[in-house]
Amino acid sequence: MNLRKYLLAAGAALALSVALSPAHAVSLRYANQGDLKSLDPYTLNETTANAHLGHVYEGLTSRGKDLKVGPGLAERWEVLDGAKRWRFHLRKGVKFHNGEDFTADDVIFSADRVRATGSNFQTRVPKGAKFTKIDSHTVEVELESPNPIMVAQWDTWYIMSKKWAEANNAVAPTPAAATTPSHSSLNTNGTGPFRIESHQPGVKTVFKANAAWWGKKEHNLTEIVFTPIPNDATRVAALLSGEVDVIEPVPVQDIARVNSSNTAKVLAGPELRTIFLGFDQIRDELLESNVKGKNPFKDVRVRQAFNMAIDKETIKARVMRGLSTPSALMIAPSLFTHSKDFTSPKFDPEAAKKLLADAGYPNGFEVGMDCPNDRYVNDGQICQAAVGMLARIGVKVNLNAQPKAQYFAKVLKSGGYKTSFYLLGWTPGTFDSHNVLFDIHGCRADGSPRGESNLGGYCNKKVDELADKILVESDPAKRDAMIKEAFQITTGEFGYVPLHQQALSWGVSSKVELSQRADNSVLLYWAKKN
Amino acid sequence: MPAPTPEEVKGLVGGGAGSPVIRKILDSDILHSFRSSKLTMVAAVIVLLCFLGALLAPWIAPFDPFDPAKVFLSDASIPPVWQQGGDSRFVIGTDDQGRDMFSAILYGLRVSLAVGGLGVLLAATIGITLGLVAGYMGGRIDAIIMRIADVQLTFPAILIALLIDGVAQGLFQGLPREQSAIPVLVISIGLSFWVQYARTIRGSTLVEKNKDYVHAARLVGLPAPVIMLRHVLPNVIGPVLVILTINLGLAVITEATLSFLGVGLPPTQPSLGTLISIGNKYLFSGDWWIVAFPGATLAILVLAVNLLGDWLRDALNPRLR
Amino acid sequence: MLAFVIRRIMQSAAVMLAVALIAFLMFRFVGDPVNQMVGVDTPQEEVARLRQSLGLNDPTIVQFGRFMWNALHFDFGVSYQFRQPVTRLLAERAPATLELAFTAAAFALVVGLVMGVYCALRRDSWLAQLFQAISLIGVSLPTFLIGILLIYLFAVVLGWLPSNGRGQVVKFGDWWTTGFLTASGLRALVLPAITLGLFQMTLIMRLVRAEMLEVMRTDYIKFAKARGLRTRSIHFGHALKNTLIPVITIAGLQLGSIIAFAIITETVFNWPGMGLLFLKAVQNVDIPIMAAYLMLIGLLFVLINLLVDLTYGLVDPRLRIAMRS
């Protein structure tokens, strides 16, 4: 093609693009700091990815703006035989984006696919659960043992089309480590209020409203254009100059500036993720310390001293600029009714020093600390602040603040829990205390998922027993009492240093109305743009 | 004028024709030109002040920003003393951790100049050695060295530093950045900037080795290393001074950029670059002093170093005056 | 002549091999790709299976052989993060980077040339001093700081130009997209191109100035003056013409480094190009992308150098003679 033809083609393309844009198209432009990598809904269990794909796919259940579980693709369900048998009545008249009907076959197919090798969502469906088709729109699930909270995470177990998957060689889930591109990681076919029109990972993803959606739409959008903007300053600038309508997150230090502009405001609120410090209390000698032959963190007085040396209020005021909720517990107050019965140990460096001296460390000791610096809100600064506060009780902390990729590779189970002292954040996926007690307080044991994210190896058999009882207890009052008992044990032993629940901070153009959910899922199907 | 060869053209970027520098410096002409240029004198004073401030930081800084026990989070983000909310203890304010900006800048200068200076010296050592050997030996050795130079030129400083950083992470797994950052940065800068020295030295050596005194030395039977170091080196070292000066500015910028990209010095031991990258986060939020003062310090330092380099190049190349 | 060309091509191939080896060896040691791809609760056997399926358990030499073989077929595997062929990811982003780099280079060349010529001819005027000062500031400020300042001034305070992205792009053929044809695309290009080109602009300006001063002192210019030719024709017909060859060479040689330095500019402006892709790959230990990007930059540099050397071989009689012997 010669140059003239190129120019002509360009002119024609330009004219077309102008002519084709509809007069009343409402396009919402949304920027997040992270990418949307795979479109396969079973690849990666991560809040941001789940929220993105939640526009396209739907689960049997849904969670509302207040996180309450409600009907989704299942209109209603019955819990039978003491939570050993569940019957789901599927919604009729629902169509996938390619026009196929949604039926019980799709649910059964999805239940197999989500448990298949390569899925990151295998825990969504209990081991050994048997799915049976009663009729085209009724499915029954039979469990090996009772599980009253089975559907707690089903709002993000997205239902896929059996026919579509089979026709496109996408029956197997795309593992996070797929070496060949799969159809389902680049294409979608859901039932949700939006469908994906184009997807260029790391650059741009365009969602178009699904006119044939079964639900009552609460948005007025024709399309959503998603762009990842990792740089904080650039993301804020893009919001302020009106290039994007919604950003997540707004760095806490820029909240005042965004609010003082007349083009955008910040939607803020407490998030459900708890940020905390953890100790290696299982090794006989710390990996990174000048204390040899023993592990100072095995002594409860040392852990108590650390708890008393950290000034959570100053971290809130200075590092988080007022946008955090200091926490006494390892779970957010809104997720556990008796949270207010717990208070943080008093900030008292002198008493902490005395505790250290009683434990045999009058001059403190040295310890290495692992910290991510691009994962949580101001995580690097929090760790730095902790280093200063611990220095004043004589503990010299050698901070290793690192990108999350290196951090997780070092401290997680797959890296051999190679840490002595660390900062981590945790949101219980079930929005329930059992997850906290099981995953980050449970005694680690080979071959069991219990305590898998308990990086420091805190262990108390009584807590494990309580956790098992809590799982099957269906009386809320009894259940909460047991949870309280468990947390009394863990806080009494100073197993962790809970710091705070960080703040949600979304930047929203003044043209946009949006409701914010406390799990930090940005769900734009509740957005209106004027 | 015939078109220059690619080698000559590439050499021009670093600039400067070669002639023995010691004699030149003693030449009163240079001192005269120095005194006659006010700008150069100002630049020299700035560079001197920066070096002094860096060297004497532990004695003249009011606070020790590297000691976490003496930094109080409750002092964080205090504006300069002339703004509302200022504190007389912190003349130009504090950063997000409560560190005194003035002290942090002095200590940051110390780190930046140490990293930049050591990096440039390493680069010069590698470059001069390889350039001498390549130019003097010629043949296959020359070809190999210059090909290596080509390969290395493929990767700009940023890429090399990212690579070396990655390798270092792999080799010293778990070693805190506080300990590994400085050596890693020095090596990165050293390996990024040596090619210029090698090319310049090689070019001059090619000319010098055909001169009578080298022939004479060879006839006397002196071994090659001795001829290279004692006889050739003093005659080709001149332009290196200019490149050293200019590269110091570049090295400091490279360090700052690496810190911006997250592979430089950690925030617990801030260099000027780290201070800027910390402050950069607060550029839009009104805490302008966290980025402005280290940024201005860096810009002025590099500017002064470059002015000195410019002057030095012109002074050593009398045809341009 | 043919022997010279063949020798240079062979040398270039050897350089590429070395680049490939370095790219491969270094990235073999960065982090652990498996940890990037598994969740917190992935079982150990799954991790081991992944390791096996990615070939990470094979001997290093086998892995390198596989790497080279695939690279020769433009196959750099599938990105760990995006699960798409790396070649396609790079191709999708190449237009963004190339358009930015060429715009930056053109800006650097034109503005640098004008400023350099002016500085050489009117050495002592205040404007020349100002240009000199600007050039010094250009090399003294880190690129990212210039970018942030430009965004702050022109995007946030004044609101004249966009701060990120490419604006609206028009699609050409299978994979080329251009921002040159829309108003928003052109507007989006301004700030990043200036940021990226500023350093090269100062370089070219200084080079042009130095070369012009040098040429102006040569005998034939003196002769031309003595012959009474018009100043304009001396300056632009003779002096500038002789200056242009090395300047254009430098500009060509710098193109590779402009593309590489786009990493920083693209990060600041969130420009969806190859540099941003590379930086993200480094942060996520996405080895296939990193390896491919390094090879690409290496190839670019080798080709530009080869081209420059061969061109010189054709035009420079001294080199032609050297080649024959």
pLDDT of residue C285: 65
pLDDT of residue B22: 46
C-alpha A180, offset from chain centre:
27
> B142 phi and psi, to 5 degrees?
-55, -50
Q: How far is C314 from chain B (nearest CA, A)?
A: 12
- Chain C residues touching A44 at Cβ < 8 A: 39
pLDDT of residue B4: 41
Closest listed residue to residue A211, CA positions, set A189, A196, A194, A187: A194
Q: Cβ of C156 under 8 Å from any chain B Cβ?
A: yes
Say whether the peptide bond before residue A249 is cis (omega within 30 degrees of 0): yes
Closest listed residue to residue C116, CA positions, set C263, C215, C252: C215
Distance CA A183, CA A181 (A): 7
Distance CA C250, CA B8 (A): 11
**Structural domain spans, chain A:** 38-190, 272-504
Going by C-beta distance under 8 Å and a sequence separation of 6 or more, which residues neighbour residue C234? C221, C224, C225
Q: Cβ of B76 under 8 Å from any chain A Cβ?
A: yes
For chain A, helix, strand, coil in percent to 5 are: 35, 20, 45
What kind and span of H or E run contains A210?
A: none
pLDDT at C70 exceeding the cut of 70: yes
pLDDT of residue C134: 81
pLDDT of residue B211: 84
Q: Is C200 helix (H, G, I), strand (E, B) or coil?
A: helix
Whether residue A183 contacts residue A38, with contact meaning beta carbons closer than 8 Å, is answered with no
pLDDT classification of A392: cutoffs 50, 70, 90: very high
- Chain A residues touching C84 at Cβ < 8 A: 181, 186, 201
pLDDT of residue B210: 83
pLDDT at A228 exceeding the cut of 80: yes
Could you say which of C137, C282, C309 has the minimum Cβ distance to residue B6?
C309
pLDDT of residue C314: 66
Q: Kindly determine whether residue C47 and residue A414, on different chains, have CB atoms separated by under 8 Å.
A: yes
Fold assignment, A272-504: Dipeptide-binding Protein; domain 3 (3.10.105)
Mean pLDDT of A160-181: 82
Mean pLDDT of C84-106: 89
Q: Which residue of B has its CA nearest to A395?
A: B69
Alpha carbon separation from C47 to A108, A445, A454, B134, C54 (Å, rounded): 27, 18, 19, 49, 11
The DSSP symbol for A171 reads -
Q: Would you write out chain B's pLDDT as a tens digit for each of its 321 residues?
A: 333 444 443 333 333 333 444 455 445 455 666 666 788 889 899 999 999 999 999 999 999 988 888 888 888 888 999 988 888 889 999 998 899 999 999 999 999 999 999 999 999 999 999 999 998 888 889 988 887 887 776 667 677 776 676 666 556 655 666 777 888 889 888 888 888 899 888 888 888 888 888 888 888 888 888 888 888 888 888 778 778 887 888 888 888 888 777 777 888 888 888 888 888 778 777 788 988 899 889 888 988 888 888 788 777 765 443
Mean pLDDT of C249-271: 81
pLDDT of residue A370: 92
pLDDT classification of C203: cutoffs 50, 70, 90: confident
Mean pLDDT of A363-379: 88
Alpha carbon separation from C62 to A41, C24, C48, C67 (Å, rounded): 35, 12, 19, 8
Strands A74-80 and A85-90: antiparallel
Closest listed residue to residue A273, CA positions, set A379, A403, A376: A376
Q: Which residue of B has its CA nearest to A391?
A: B69
What kind and span of H or E run contains C254?
A: helix C240-269
pLDDT classification of C44: cutoffs 50, 70, 90: low
Strands A421-426 and A264-279: antiparallel
Q: Which residue of A has its CA nearest to C169?
A: A14
pLDDT of residue B144: 86
pLDDT of residue A10: 53
Q: Kindly determine whether residue B167 and residue C29, on different chains, have CB atoms separated by under 8 Å.
A: yes
pLDDT at A122 exceeding the cut of 80: no
Query: For a pLDDT cut of 70, what percent of chain A falls above it?
Result: 93
pLDDT classification of C28: cutoffs 50, 70, 90: low
pLDDT of residue B136: 87
pLDDT at A180 exceeding the cut of 70: no
- Chain B residues touching C139 at Cβ < 8 A: 249-250, 302, 306
pLDDT of residue A18: 46
- If you classify domain C86-324 with CATH, what class do you get? mainly alpha
Instruction: Specify the residue for token string 């902390």.
Output: A397
B 101-140: CB under 8 A from C: none
**pLDDT tens track for A132-159:** 999 999 999 999 888 888 888 899 999 9
Q: Kindly determine whether residue A38 and residue C171, on different chains, have CB atoms separated by under 8 Å.
A: no
pLDDT of residue A131: 95
- Chain A residues touching B283 at Cβ < 8 A: 233
pLDDT classification of C315: cutoffs 50, 70, 90: low
pLDDT of residue A314: 94
Interface test with C, best of A14, A48, A231 (most C CBs within 10 A): A231
pLDDT of residue B15: 34
Q: What is the largest CA-CA distance in chain A?
A: 86
C-alpha A149, offset from chain centre:
18
Q: Kindly determine whether residue A374 and residue B280, on different chains, have CB atoms separated by under 8 Å.
A: no
Interface test with A, best of B63, B66, B284, B291 (most A CBs within 10 A): B284
Interface test with C, best of A30, A203, A417 (most C CBs within 10 A): A203
Interface test with C, best of B46, B153, B154 (most C CBs within 10 A): B154
Whether residue B136 contacts residue B232, with contact meaning beta carbons closer than 8 Å, is answered with yes
Could you say which of C34, C83, C93 has the minimum Cβ distance to residue A174?
C83
Strands (E), A169-263: 194-200, 204-209, 223-228, 246-248
CATH code linked to domain A38-190? 3.90.76.10
Q: What is the DSSP string of A231-245?
A: -HHHHHHHHHTTS-S
- Chain B residues touching A319 at Cβ < 8 A: 73, 76, 96
Query: Token digits for A149?
Result: 């909270």
Q: How far is B75 from chain A (nearest CA, A)?
A: 9
Q: Kindly determine whether residue A384 and residue B262, on different chains, have CB atoms separated by under 8 Å.
A: no
Looking at chain B, which subunits does it touch, using at least 3 CB pairs closer than 8 Å as the criterion? A, C
Closest listed residue to residue A280, CA positions, set A289, A272, A270: A289
Could you say which of C78, C280, C285 has the minimum Cβ distance to residue A180?
C78
Q: Which residue of A has its CA nearest to B68?
A: A388
Closest listed residue to residue A31, CA positions, set A526, A528, A524, A453: A524
Helices (H), A201-348: 232-240, 255-260, 300-309, 312-314
Interface test with B, best of C36, C129, C130, C140 (most B CBs within 10 A): C140
- Chain A residues touching C267 at Cβ < 8 A: 230-231
Q: How many CA atoms lie within 13 A of B29 on its CB side?
A: 13
Tally of residues, chain C: 325
- Chain A residues touching C285 at Cβ < 8 A: 405
Q: Kindly determine whether residue B174 and residue A318, on different chains, have CB atoms separated by under 8 Å.
A: no
Q: Cβ of C309 under 8 Å from any chain B Cβ?
A: yes
- Chain A residues touching B176 at Cβ < 8 A: 368, 398-400
Mean pLDDT of C60-87: 79
Residue B199 vs residue A46, higher pLDDT: B199
Q: Cβ of B98 under 8 Å from any chain A Cβ?
A: yes
Q: Kindly determine whether residue A319 and residue B287, on different chains, have CB atoms separated by under 8 Å.
A: no
| Average pLDDT taken over every residue of chain C | 78
B 151-170: CB under 8 A from C: 151, 153-156, 158-159, 162-163, 166-167, 169-170
Q: Which residue of A has its CA nearest to C96?
A: A203
Going by C-beta distance under 8 Å and a sequence separation of 6 or more, which residues neighbour residue B154? C15, C19, C256, C297, C298, C301, C302
pTM equals: 0.77
Distance CA A137, CA A294 (A): 61
Going by C-beta distance under 8 Å and a sequence separation of 6 or more, which residues neighbour residue A99? none
Q: Kindly determine whether residue B262 and residue A406, on different chains, have CB atoms separated by under 8 Å.
A: no
Whether residue B103 contacts residue B65, with contact meaning beta carbons closer than 8 Å, is answered with yes
Q: Which of A341-345, B174-178, C175-179 is predicted most confidently? A: A341-345
Going by C-beta distance under 8 Å and a sequence separation of 6 or more, which residues neighbour residue C219? none
Q: Cβ of B147 under 8 Å from any chain A Cβ?
A: no
Whether residue B161 contacts residue C260, with contact meaning beta carbons closer than 8 Å, is answered with no
Looking at chain A, which subunits does it touch, using at least 3 CB pairs closer than 8 Å as the criterion? B, C
Q: How far is C38 from chain A (nearest CA, A)?
A: 6
pLDDT of residue A152: 86
Query: Token digits for C206?
Result: 């200084």
Whether residue A274 contacts residue A425, with contact meaning beta carbons closer than 8 Å, is answered with yes
Q: How far is C173 from chain B (nearest CA, A)?
A: 31
pLDDT of residue A271: 86
pLDDT of residue C27: 60
Angle B102-B307-C144 from CA coordinates, rounded to 5°:
60
Looking at chain C, which subunits does it touch, using at least 3 CB pairs closer than 8 Å as the criterion? A, B
A230-234, B160-164, C119-123, C258-262, range with the lowest pLDDT? B160-164
Mean pLDDT of C94-117: 90
Q: Kindly determine whether residue B169 and residue C246, on different chains, have CB atoms separated by under 8 Å.
A: no
Q: Kindly determine whether residue C246 and residue B306, on different chains, have CB atoms separated by under 8 Å.
A: no
Distance CA B320, CA C120 (A): 11
Amino acid present at C299: L
